[in-house]
Amino acid sequence: MSAPVKASSAGGEAKVLSPAEIAKDLVITAIITFFILVPIVAIRTPLDQGTLTWHPRFGLAAALCGLVVVGRLALYLFVWNPKAKAALAPADASAPLKAVKGPSLGDRLGPKVAPTLLILAIALPFFFIIIGNADGMFPGWDRRGIDFAITVMLYVMLGWGLNVVVGLAGLLDLGYVAFYAVGAYTYALMATKYLPAWFGPEIKPYAFFISLPIAAILASLWGMILGFPVLRLKGDYLAIVTLAFGEIIYQVLQNWSVFTEGPRGISVPKLTFFGIPFDKSDGGFAATFHVGYNRIVYFAFLYFVILALALLTYFVTKKLRRLPIGRAWEALREDEIACRSLGINTTSTKLTAFAIGAAFGGMAGAFFAVRQEFISPESFKYIESAFILAIVVLGGLGSQIGIVFSAIAIIGATEAFREMEFLKYVLPEGTEPVQFRMLAVGVALVLMMRFRPRGFVTKREPTVYLKEKKAVSGDLVAEGHG
Amino acid sequence: MEYFLQQLINGLTLGSIYGLIAIGYTMVYGIIGMINFAHGDVFMVGSVTSFILVLIGGVSFGLSGNSAGIIILLALVLVVAYAMLVSSVYNWTIERVAYRPLRGSFRLAPLISAIGMSIVLQEFVRIAQEARPKPIQKLVTGGYELMSKQVGEQTFAVTITNMQIFIIISTLVLMTAFTFIIQRTSLGRAQRACEQDTKMASLLGINVDRTISITFIMGAMLAAFAGMLFFLHYTETDFFVGFAAGIKAFTAAVLGGIGSIPGAMMGGLLIGIIEVMWSAYFSVEYKDVAAFTVLVLVLIFMPQGLLGKPEVEKV
Amino acid sequence: MTRAWEINPELEVQHLTMRFGGLTAIGDLSFNAARQQITALIGPNGAGKTTVFNCITGFYKPTEGMLKLNHEDGKSFLLERMDDFRVNREARVARTFQNIRLFTGMTVVENLMVAQHNTLMRASTMTIGALLGSRHYKRVEADAMEKSKYWLEKVGLTDRADDPAGDLPYGAQRRLEIARAMCTEPRLLCLDEPAAGLNPRESDELNKLLLSIRDDHKTAILLIEHDMSVVMGISDHVVVLDYGRKIADGTPGEVKANPDVIRAYLGVEDEEDDAEGKAAAAVVHEAVDHTPVAAAVLEASLETPRVAEKAPARKAAGPELLKKPRGKADDLKLIWGVGPAFEKLLNKVGVWHFDQVASWTSADIDHVDALLKGFHGRIRRDDWVNQAKKLASGWRPDNDIGERPATVKKPAPKAAKKGGRK
Ligand SMILES: Nc1ncnc2c1ncn2[C@@H]1O[C@H](COP(=O)(O)OP(=O)(O)O)[C@@H](O)[C@H]1O
Ligand SMILES: [Mg+2]
């Protein structure tokens, strides 16, 4: 009988456990799981003719409890077991953690990844249109595919924007959605109220492209207004204050009805092709360019707009990293005190990171509004910030390519939850697979921090070199102080 | 004046609840130097658990506001005891699963893990218990009229409800017991030792892991208690109550001086009063904004809080 | 004799006091650092040297006192009123840190480029110019690269320019930190224990580097160092601190001969419960052993019967002092704050037993304090009397970390540990 090992979390030293100890551990696990599940899961509290009542759901609780215990037993047998481990990783059985912490798939990506992705991104809508229109193969996939691609690209852009603040400057911003909201509302209010009032209704078709820079400027202004007082804060405080700021903005949007229409929201005009609407009218896109009218053209255009915005974010950030300001951001993340000893004004450095990150967020917000054609405060809750943060963290703090993959993975998984009809048979009644999406994001954050805290791409690319460019291993890169 | 007095009573009641939650933040921050982002959600778990138990009591055992006082009290003791147990198990598990393995990892890791954990708890409860707010009949009813005043046609009375008395008294009792534990027992000494210097404490033979676990359990028990009070007071709860209450309680902890337990209680009372007064005199809609603004102002202008020690950044 | 640091100094420290809560880390310290000279700041661990640096470089705001930096062109700066980054940017003071603070995840050359941030930033016209590819910026960037190369060459790191700073061996990291500080073109360079952890060869190279910085770059250096071979070998002026106060100030020769200095160094052993202290004590002892003059002075001071002779004469006024122990002498080292060297001194003065110490009155303490010049109130600070009372009654510290009796307050609260994980 092989003696399983329990990886002690504190020091990482492995302790060999006897079967009796394992049994004891499993009993404790069962007891703990019991209290976690009873009553939160074991009792349902549905409405019955207008009043609340309760129904037991002990079967489900027992099943989950059993699952946890069996799962832990399996871990003991197959993962925390030195023999099993040796079988899994024969090369370095002596360093069991190495298997987990070695270079990730992301780090093996070559230099050609970025151009390849770019070509793929440009080709994507055409691909979806082809497969969507190929007879009977994937009906409706043109629209759905492009929609999905737009969503991914939007979050890639948000991720890249937040990456400036969190990944490069090392400041944990939990209120990023505030700038997203500022951008969205800038466009919505500009397009529906101010631009028509100032310049007459003819301006309306151009509203998006006029509002876009305004959204960026306003968002970065807000970034500075909010950033200035809080950037002296350290660590966890910064996180919670930015969270509070995000909430304040949400509450103001919710309650300042005269200005924001409150929870009713604002309907906003559609995107136009630089003034030419995508409709069947004589002045429409189809008539102007003598192509047949097809709704998909509009979605493809939306896609290319967000692709262009995302690429702007990408290239500006990439360039900034090589300039003194970007280098100062990274230095700040590495060691703020050393920065100050070198004469770097850390407050203004942080502020620029905040402002630039916010500007990208603002543009993404404006795009979000034009795409949804309707906005309300509900889209700008804290959980959205957490979602974007998850994308950045999973991608690998500071890595732009990693964020692309994590956005695809997370949003793909979300969509997959929607698709997984079969889950309905497994899940307790009254729950939809799609409800599990944020739960999965939360679990992913915890697991990532535990097993791959540096995310998908852990290597850092130097911004300047003397002889040859060598990537810096993630183990040396600091992740800021919050 | 009467109006003000009434609001003061309401503020103290609410503040007691915030104070109880704030202690959990302050203790954990003191001992491992991180914000337990999931603490507000542990409070929520306590609140939802006591809701379920009270509901069962109501539906199956006829527990209601009309039951005899002693029965209600007994029921509440049972409910809160179990809710404390459940919350403790949650917080203990969170520390074991999400924070302990990350000690010694980079600075943001436990924080991000905590954010993840907070999402997990919220979503877990939302899925298990549905998102709808869960209302329930008032369980503790009645009260006393302290004074009344004739204003034109109407009389305005300053009252203190039995619920408010219950909240304030139980908070006082809990606080006293708690202060005793921290100051007089070896457990409290171990905690204070870990707060000052974890490495040194472990060298001196203090079981640091256990002390940290117990700190999380103690914080969870207070949060569960607050959760029950919160739900009884508002006669409603849901999976999301931990979010706003959590930030406000954190504000309270910072206002009182993070790391200081009396400070947390004092900060809680202040935040409760500020929130209630703001709603009473300015606008109810922006009450959360007021509390969050206090957080921002305190952190900027008085980061060491009322009772905290100023810290010089070690270079 | 006029000394360089007395006329038109680069740095004037006047009545500097820094308190942390109840602890006075620096008490009324005044000294000058001369232009284009190396001024060494020495003293046992916990003496407050790093705190002086932190005050000079703006990281701590002194409780009292003035820190004045004079440029050659006549411009003066009051450092205590400046933000930390302005101290570097405007007053041109650069520093290194006792526990190296490199940007470990950035390459060596990136570290040097970050140090030239302000020059580059100015050239980048609010980043926008550089973003649009301005020629001027490109030129300035190329110059910055040249300067980085120069310093890489100078500290011998050219081959490792593209490696992450965190991958360098310890000695190279120290040199890189100096190079990085020099890239900011300072007028005054503050080095916090640059030779700590270096082997003799590296230490030698460091000396050369520092002399070259002083002579070729016309930069004043303020140096904290425990390695006496470095201190005595290259410094022009030595200031000695003990418990936050200046106990000597002069040329290396003068300081070496100062008995207070030697006592202060012996006192290092009271840090023995602290691993760092132990290491530092070892370093000092080694240093003293390796420096013939200092060693000779040390021997002399231990042999001088001066103190012991005086003691019996003042017996009537002072505490009971014995020429010889009554039977077997107690192990005075059990008193927290007394190391082997102190024990020797105490024995010389005539203190052998716990009960002797236990019986001291306040006046006796002052008396013994005076006898043991250079103790500066250690007896009170560590509460020797109460410790001795407990020890005399049979109490013993029960583990080898040397637990102190409960009455004794830790004299120097260690750093705020909160959030220090990294
Ligand atoms: N930020 C701080 N907070 C509290 N005490 C401090 C702080 N910085 C230094 N000290 C204390 O000041 C004293 C001097 O420390 P330091 O300047 O580091 O000594 P040295 O560098 O000479 O070894 C020590 O007792 C130290 O604990
Ligand atoms: Mg020092």
Ligand approaching nearest to the C-alpha of C49: 1
Contacts of B52 in chain A (CB under 8 A): 39-40, 43, 45, 54
> How close A114 comes to chain B (CA, Å)?
28
Mean pLDDT throughout B149-168? 84
Q: Is the pLDDT of residue C84 over 50?
A: yes
Domains annotated for chain C, with CATH where assigned, are 1-92+185-256 (3.40.50.300), 104-180 (no CATH), 258-310 (no CATH), 332-418 (no CATH)
Residue B222 pLDDT: 95
Say how far apart CA A373 and CA A269 lie, in whole Å.
Answer: 6
In the block, tokens 């249109």 appear at A129
> How close C134 comes to chain A (CA, Å)?
12
Residue C214 pLDDT: 93
**b/e for B182-203, b at 16 or more Cβ within 10 A?**
beeeeebebbebbbbbbeebee
Residue A3 pLDDT: 40
pTM of the entire structure?
Answer: 0.81
Q: Which one of A320, A464, A479 makes the best mutation probe of the C interface by having the most chain C beta carbons within 10 Å?
A: A464
A334 in reach of chain C (CB within 8 A): yes
Provide the H-helix boundaries in chain B.
2-32, 39-61, 69-94, 108-129, 162-184, 186-196, 198-203, 208-234, 241-256, 261-281, 287-301
DSSP string of C342-376, one letter each residue: HHHHHHHHT---HHHHHT--HHHHHHHHHHSTT-T
Tell me the per-residue pLDDT of A217-262, one tens digit each, with 9 for 90 and over. Answer: 999 999 998 887 777 777 678 888 888 889 999 999 999 988 888 8
Pick from B110, B115, B300: CB nearest A229 = B300
Pick from B93, B109, B303: CB nearest A36 = B93
pLDDT band at C303 (very low <50, low <70, confident <90, very high): very low
Intra-chain end-to-end CA distance of chain B, in Å: 52
C420 in reach of chain A (CB within 8 A): no
Q: What is the number of H-type helices and E-type strands within chain A?
A: 20, 8
The ligand 1 atom nearest the CA atom of C43: 22
* Closest CA relative to residue B159, chosen from B148, B149, B147, B145: B145
Look at A127-136, A235-244, B173-182 and tell me which has the smallest mean pLDDT.
A127-136
The shares of helix, strand and coil residues in chain C, as percent rounded to the nearest 5, are 45, 15, 40
Residue B63 pLDDT: 86
Q: Is the pLDDT of residue A397 over 60?
A: yes
- Do the bridges between strand C220-224 and strand C38-42 make them parallel or antiparallel, or are there none, so unpaired? parallel
How far does the centroid of ligand 2 lie from the alpha carbon of residue C224, in Å? 8
The ligand 1 atom nearest the CA atom of C47: 22
Task: Give the H/E segment covering residue B161.
Answer: strand B154-161
Percent of chain A with pLDDT over 70: 86
Say how far apart CA B221 and CA B82 lie, in whole Å.
Answer: 10
Say how far apart CA C73 and CA C92 lie, in whole Å.
Answer: 13
* Closest CA relative to residue A33, chosen from B99, B90, B121, B84: B90
Look over chain B and give the mean of its residue pLDDT values, rounded to a whole number: 88
What is the signed CA dihedral for B125, A248, A312, A120, rounded to 10 degrees? 10
Topology (CATH) of B2-301: ABC transporter involved in vitamin B12 uptake, BtuC (1.10.3470)
Say how far apart CA A320 and CA A310 lie, in whole Å.
Answer: 15
Tell me the per-residue pLDDT of A151-204, one tens digit each, with 9 for 90 and over. Answer: 999 999 999 999 999 999 988 899 999 999 999 999 999 999 888 889 888 888
> How close B191 comes to chain C (CA, Å)?
14
A 77-106: CB under 8 A from B: none
ipTM: 0.91
Residue A85 pLDDT: 60
Q: Does the Cβ of C97 fall within 6 Å of ligand 1? A: no
In the block, tokens 């999931």 appear at B38
- From residue B66, alpha-carbon distances to B70, B72, B135 in Å are 11, 9, 17
- Judged by CB atoms closer than 8 Å, whether chains meet at C102 and A330 is answered as no
Q: Does the Cβ of C226 fall within 6 Å of ligand 1? A: no
Tell me the per-residue pLDDT of A21-80, one tens digit each, with 9 for 90 and over. Answer: 889 999 999 999 999 998 999 898 888 888 888 888 888 889 999 999 999 999 888 887
Residue C150 pLDDT: 95
Q: Is the pLDDT of residue A5 over 70?
A: no
DSSP string of A35-103, one letter each residue: HHHTTTTTEE--EETTEE--EE-HHHHHHHHHHHHHHHHHIIIIIS-HHHHHHH-STTTT-TTHHHHS-
The alpha carbon of residue A314 and the mean position of all alpha carbons in its chain are separated, in whole angstroms, by: 16
For residue C240, the SS3 value is: strand
How far does the centroid of ligand 1 lie from the alpha carbon of residue C46, in Å? 6
pLDDT band at A428 (very low <50, low <70, confident <90, very high): low
Say how far apart CA C224 and CA C238 lie, in whole Å.
Answer: 10
Q: Is the pLDDT of residue B31 over 90?
A: no
Q: Does the Cβ of B314 fall within 6 Å of ligand 1? A: yes
Q: Is the pLDDT of residue C253 over 50?
A: yes
Domain boundaries, chain B: 2-301
- From residue B278, alpha-carbon distances to A8, A334, B273, C255 in Å are 50, 42, 8, 67
Look over chain C and give the mean of its residue pLDDT values, rounded to a whole number: 78
- Judged by CB atoms closer than 8 Å, whether chains meet at C89 and A343 is answered as yes
